[in-house]
Amino acid sequence: MKSTKLLPGLLLVFAASSAWAQQSPQSQPIVNIRISRTIKSVTYRPNSGQSTIGFLGTALLPRAEGKARVQNKQGVTYIEGEISRLEPALKFGSPYLTYVLWAITPEGSASNLGEIIVQGTRAKVKASTNLQSFGLIVTAEPYFAIGMPSEIVVLENVIVPGTMGKIEAVDAKYELLERGKYEPGIFEPFEMDAKTPLELYQARNAARIGAWMQADKYATESWAKAQRELKNAEGFQSQKNPNRRSVMMMARDATQIFEDARVIALKRQEEEQLANERRAARERQEQARAQAEAEAERRKEEAEARRRAELEREMEAARRERAEAEKLKAELAGAQEAQRRAEAEAARARAVAQEEQARRLADEARKSADASRLREEEAQRREAAARREAEQSAREKAELRARLLEQFNAVLETRDTERGLVVNMGDVLFDTGRFTLRQVAQVKLARLAGIVLSYPGLRLESEGHTDNVGGEAFNQKLSEQRANSVREFLISQGIAADRITSIGKAFSMPVADNKTAAGRQRNRRVELIVSGEVIGSKVGNFSPDKQ
Task: Kindly report, residue by residue over 41-66, the tens digit of the pLDDT.
Answer: 888 888 878 899 999 999 999 999 99
Whether residue 100 contacts residue 179, with contact meaning beta carbons closer than 8 Å, is answered with no
pLDDT at residue 35, rounded to an integer? 40
CATH architecture of 3-189: Sandwich (2.60)
| 298 Cβ contact list (under 8 Å, min separation 6) | none
Mean pLDDT, the chain, whole residue set: 82
185 — pLDDT class (breaks 50, 70, 90): low
User: For the segment 507-532, what is each residue's pLDDT rounded down to a tens digit?
Assistant: 999 999 999 988 988 898 999 999 98
Task: Report whether pLDDT(497) > 70.
Answer: yes
- Tell me the C-alpha distance between 329 and 526, whole Å: 91
Name the DSSP class of 411: T
Q: What confidence score (pLDDT) does residue 168 get?
A: 54
Q: Confirm whether pTM is higher than 0.75.
A: no
**Distance (Å, whole) CA 86 – CA 96:** 14
Q: What is the pLDDT of residues 220-244, one digit of tens each?
A: 899 999 899 899 998 988 888 888 8
Beta-bridge partners for 318: none
Burial 423-448 (b: 16+ CB within 10 A, else e): bbbebebbeeeebebeeebbebbebb
Domain 411-546 has CATH 3.40.50.2300: no
List pLDDT tens digits, range 88-139: 998 888 788 999 999 988 877 889 999 999 999 999 999 999 998 889 999 9
- The burial of 317, by beta-carbon neighbours within 10 Å (0-12 exposed, 13-18 middle, 19 or more buried), is given as exposed
Task: Give the separation between CA 533 and CA 529, rounded to whole angstroms.
Answer: 13
pLDDT on residue 121? 94
> What CA–CA distance (Å, rounded) separates 174 from 529?
37
pLDDT at 17: 29
Q: Are strands 525-531 and 420-426 parallel, antiparallel or unpaired?
A: antiparallel
Stretch among 68-77, 389-398, 464-473 having the lowest mean pLDDT = 389-398
Q: What share of the chain is helix, strand, coil (3-state, %, to 5)?
A: 50, 20, 30
pLDDT above 70 covers what percent of the chain?
A: 86
pLDDT tens digits along 370-416: 888 888 888 888 887 778 777 777 787 888 888 889 988 988 899 99
Cα(464)–Cα(544) distance, integer angstroms: 14
- Note the pLDDT of residue 70: 93
Q: What per-residue confidence (pLDDT) applies to 71? A: 92
pLDDT band at residue 29 using 50, 70 and 90 as cut-offs: very low
DSSP 473-534: HHHHHHHHHHHHHHHHHHHHTT--GGGEEEEE-TTSS-SS-TTSHHHHHHHSEEEEEEEBGG
Three-state DSSP class for 82? strand
From CA 98, how far away is CA 117, in angstroms rounded?
7
Look at residue 495 and tell me whether its pLDDT is greater than 90. yes
> How far is residue 284's CA from residue 290's CA, in Å, rounded to a whole number?
10
Nearest to 512 by CA among 500, 504, 521: 521
Please name the residues in contact with 218: beta carbons below 8 A apart, sequence gap of 6 or more: 264, 265, 268, 269, 272
Structure confidence at residue 547 as a pLDDT band (50, 70, 90): very low
* Buried/exposed code over 151-185 (b: 16+ C-beta within 10 A; e: otherwise): bbbbbbbbeeeebeeebeebebbbeebbbbbbebe
Q: With 50 as the cut, is the pLDDT of residue 34 above it? A: no
Q: Mean pLDDT over residues 193-209, rounded?
A: 87
The more confident residue out of 21 and 213 is: 213
